[in-house]
Amino acid sequence: MNQYVSDIDFVMIWVDGNDPEWRKSKAVYSGDEAKFNINDSRYRDWDTLHYWFRCVEKFAPWVRKVHFVTCGHVPQWLQLEHPKLHFVKHSDYIAAEYLPTFSSHPIELNLHRIEGLSEKFVYFNDDMFLIAPVKEEDFFVNGLPRGYAVLNPPTADKHGIATIIMNDLGVIAEHFDFKTQFKAHLGKWFHPAYGLQNLRTCLLLPWRRYVGFLDLHLPSSFLKGTFEEVWKEEEDLLKKVSSHRFRNDSDVNQWVMSYWQIATGRFVPGSPKIGKAFYLSGDVSGVVDIIQNQKMKMICLNDSEKVANIDTIRRQIAEAFECIVGEKSSFEK
């Protein structure tokens, strides 16, 4: 009996930060342009990539295709001939004038150009994992992506993600009037799926602005058409961001696509309880427990500059994954 295959693709970007040639190339370009966030934790390899593929095969066997995006890095163990795997190099879909790039923003913002990409796709960073069975409906319902229309202001930081989020929100505010869109899609702004998170929106409504959205730092559901639409409306901006080899204060990122889907109402409310992001900076016993006992459907394991016992944490996380996906997947040789 043939296994059911959906029309949803997964896209995952990965970089082998241990590759000496890649590090050499990064060093050549990291002059005046590299103004912030150029630190090893952004590129550190936790040796968990094979677990990502095992989790996809075990917990989302219905996925149509996995588009694995790298600058050219190929893990020695990866089965490139796998029928569901599409190995994608940056040069396959990003204009040559923007390469090489050491920023995730050009890589993310051009994803719609990947050859053969489905109209419906889920975007993963390499630190985002499925840890329990998921259904198509966890990502798309009636052709629309899951989303979270919950107001939440970004936390201020210097030269960090908050700066990028404000740029994303600026794009949305330029194209959509908050009060108009809020009234047009009221049932999606206040929804039982959000649970107590609805209180955030209630408390922030007096501002009557796009003050920010709840960002879960989990796999994101997208329509390829959203990327095409935003590129049509903001081509100059997105070309400028694509030209930045390193993250820049003036950038937007892929969240502008998520926010666009929310502002237009082209989404279906989802539950924030589907997963959670964790920082690997100290005691990871709680994270290990969540993985081993599959207490959520998905998690994000954020690296941190404050990690002191990297080898110990790496071993604990690996042991946790071995408990749920200890057998090799067909993506491995």
Residues 124-183 have pLDDT tens digits of 999 999 999 999 999 999 999 999 999 999 887 665 789 999 999 999 999 999 999 999
Number of H helices, E strands in the chain: 13, 11
pTM > 0.85? yes
Segments of the chain with pLDDT less than 50: 1, 33-39
Range of the domain at 281: 8-324
Q: Is residue 127 part of a domain?
A: yes
What count of Cα atoms within 13 Å lies in the side-chain half-sphere of residue 175?
A: 18
189 lies in a domain? yes
Residue 2 lies in a domain: no
3, part of any domain: no
Q: What is the CA radius of gyration of the chain?
A: 19
Q: Judge whether 331 lies within some domain.
A: no
Contact 102, 26 (CB under 8 A): yes
3-state helix, strand, coil in the chain (%, to 5): 40, 15, 45
* Cβ partners under 8 Å of residue 268, min gap 6: 140, 141, 142, 144, 145, 146, 147, 188
| pLDDT for residue 108 | 98
pLDDT recorded at residue 36: 42
Check residue 44 and give its pLDDT: 64
**What pLDDT was estimated at residue 40?**
52
Structural domain count, the chain: 1
pLDDT score of 28: 86
d(CA 290, CA 308): 22
What pLDDT shows up at residue 35?
44
Task: Count the Cβ atoms, other than its own, within 10 Å of residue 18.
Answer: 12
